Structure 1
Amino acid sequence: MASTNLTFKIGDIEINRLGYGAMQLTGHGVFGEVEDRENAKKVLQTAVENGVNFIDTAEAYGPKFNESLIAEALHPYRSGLLIATKGGFDRTGPNKWVPNGSPEKIRADIEGSLERLKVEQIDLWQLHRIDPNVDVEKTLEPIIEAVKSGKIKHVGLSEVNIEQIKKVQNILPIASVQNMYNLVDRNWEEVLDYSAEQGLAFIPWFPLASGPAKLEEKIKSIAAAHEATTSQIALAWLLKRSPNILLIPGTKSVAHLEENLKAATIELSDKEFETLSQQ
């Protein structure tokens, strides 16, 4: 448990720990174009105007549409804005995700992301999944090339265990881990603690999973004490859980975005934190 410091450094970029995940700014099943493009651009612009300087996207969101949308909304980018993207999935339809770690796919994803985001260097490029059918050393070859040539600044991994992280760390430095983690689903607790020990950013996806009824009353009473929503308390718990956690709650609503960002102002007491932590 940690007191709530609201920034974390990835390399030389200081990140406000409450960021934004852009996955929802796509069509149904994270496939195709977002329904209301002007609203989506407004959400992104409002996030940055409100101090968000960490935005998470991926080649697979759309696929491709999400990265282009971010560039349309925000390019030329503000100094200090880190846009993280990911590669390594084939998208065959709505809600269909097929890992593809072939070097050809990874190389194409990196080049495509550079083009769509309109950047010469990706600040943080994350391997969306380790493909069980491809030796990870082969998958990493084009990533290492891109780091050496300056196309990628930092590398991250997603949905990995400690053994997998260590294997990759033996081949190239990594800066972040993005695994599913929230107040209810804490299967990756050991990975979070390992990433903290290693000084890596830990980026929980699905940070606002709806909790079972047994947690509802606990969150409600604490939320009432802070005049906050249950979502804000769930985010505040994550910020307090470990100082290396970067949050990327996503939404298509400007009002909901602003509500999420207010979670950074909530300082849970140690007692409240412990109460919420009990499962």
Structure 2
Amino acid sequence: MTNDVVDVPGAGPVHRIGFGAMQLAGPGVFGPPGDRDRAARVLRRAAELGIDHIDTSDFYGPWVVNELIAEVLRPYPQNLLLATKIGAYRDHRGGWPPLVHPDALRAQVHDNLRRLHLEALDLVYLRHSAEQPGIPWEDQVGALAELREAGLVRSIGLSNVDLAQFEQARAIAPISAVQNSYNVVDRAAADLLDRTAALGVPFVPFFPLGSAFQPNSRALGDQVVRGVAERLGVVPAQVSLAWLLHRAPNTLLIPGTSSIEHLESNCAADQVKLGEADVQELDDLVAEGTTAERPL
């Protein structure tokens, strides 16, 4: 990886390519990994590659991924930023119901602290859900602001929000990062990305390579992405990640994988040099503010 970094206010600078740990859990991000040793090796290799930004959550598994991170990576490198998310739980069917009462949010922070064996969390994302159970957004953000004042949270992030929710949260507490779905074929959050870039707030695209959870967001299967990759002699994932790095200077990437080979390939994406024609072709693939609906 290059030395290109972005500062996360309150948490410090990190390289622009990190690691999303979600896929270290079992299928559907539910239950333990099929091969725990393999998952542990991926984490160790991430550390060896100099990755200093790992994205996790207590509801990955649930609990499995946080416990694995603590087991494998402690004592944590001094420069490692561990980001986690709160605002949901896993039901017995593997669903993701919201859990956003201020008392529940406080409990989730303490649960993450305990399982990660930390005294303070570097970055905590508050996950917004369209199925909010009638609890004002301001009260949810306010609970995190109180935890920040208490020293249990160093910086506050937001996940799955729109521009209005971002601005409402900023009026309550400093917001250090935003994590929304965004990739070369899913640009619904373009207005929020542009706003965070103007403010110098890091924007962390989740599903930067698309996801099986989002059928119209299969970035790796797009024929344009594949064509650019073939011309450059790289893989489609590297093209998609390189485009995100080019899209705005505040993007921080957290591609997830349970494969060391894919991890190493993703980390090399910042070495991919997209030409002007490549960028234009990828820019034209989907209009800003939309998600691809055409066959991929």
Indicate the residue corresponding to 2:58 in structure 1: 59
Alignment identity in percent? 39
2: CA distance, partners of 1:244 / 1:268:
18
The yes-or-no answer on 1:23 pairing with 2:29 is: no
Shift of 1:102: 0.4
Which segment is superposed worse, 49-58 or 11-20?
A: 11-20
Indicate the residue corresponding to 2:8 in structure 1: 10
Matches within 5 A, 1:202-217: 202-209=203-210, 210-211=218-219, 215-216=222-223
Q: Is the Cα contact below 8 Å between 2:183 and 2:219 reproduced in 1?
A: no
Indicate the residue corresponding to 2:176 in structure 1: 175
Partner AA of 2:185 in structure 1: V
Indicate the residue corresponding to 2:31 in structure 1: 32
2: CA distance, partners of 1:51 / 1:212:
25
Partner AA of 1:186 in structure 2: R
Unpaired segments ≥5 residues, structure 1: none
Indicate the residue corresponding to 2:294 in structure 1: none
Q: Is the Cα contact below 8 Å between 2:87 and 2:100 reproduced in 1?
A: yes
| Change beyond 3 A, Cα 1:211–1:137 | closer
Indicate the residue corresponding to 1:244 in structure 2: 250
Indicate the residue corresponding to 2:146 in structure 1: 145
2: CA distance, partners of 1:79 / 1:94:
38
Shift of 1:97: 0.8
Matches within 5 A, 1:1-279: 6-11=4-9, 13-130=12-129, 131=132, 133-209=134-210, 210-211=218-219, 215-216=222-223, 218-279=224-285
Q: Provide the secondary structure at the position in 2 that maps to 1:89.
A: coil
Shift of 1:212: 8.5
Q: Is the Cα contact below 8 Å between 1:30 and 1:94 reproduced in 2?
A: no
Q: Is the Cα contact below 8 Å between 2:3 and 2:15 reproduced in 1?
A: no
Q: Deviations over 1:75-102 (max 9, x none)?
A: 1111111010011102103541111110
Shift of 1:35: 1.7
Q: Is the Cα contact below 8 Å between 2:257 and 2:263 reproduced in 1?
A: yes
Shift of 1:34: 1.6
Q: Is the Cα contact below 8 Å between 1:60 and 1:90 reproduced in 2?
A: yes
Shift of 1:211: 3.5
- Report the TM-score, using the length of structure 1 for normalisation: 0.93
Shift of 1:5: 8.0
1: CA distance, partners of 2:113 / 2:92:
24
Q: Deviations over 1:114-173 (max 9, x none)?
A: 111111111100002253521112223331221011110000000111100010100101
Q: Is the Cα contact below 8 Å between 2:56 and 2:66 reproduced in 1?
A: yes
2: CA distance, partners of 1:211 / 1:17:
20
2: CA distance, partners of 1:48 / 1:5:
15
1: CA distance, partners of 2:197 / 2:143:
27
| Change beyond 3 A, Cα 1:5–1:164 | farther
- Report the TM-score, using the length of structure 2 for normalisation: 0.88
Q: Provide the secondary structure at the position in 2 that maps to 1:91.
A: coil
Partner AA of 2:8 in structure 1: I
2: CA distance, partners of 1:211 / 1:21:
17
2: CA distance, partners of 1:275 / 1:251:
27
Q: Is the Cα contact below 8 Å between 2:220 and 2:226 reproduced in 1?
A: no
- Number of equivalent positions: 274
Shift of 1:271: 2.3
Q: Deviations over 1:178-232 (max 9, x none)?
A: 100000011111111011111111111111122487x41x323322332200111
Unpaired segments ≥5 residues, structure 2: 211-217, 286-296
| Change beyond 3 A, Cα 1:111–1:84 | same
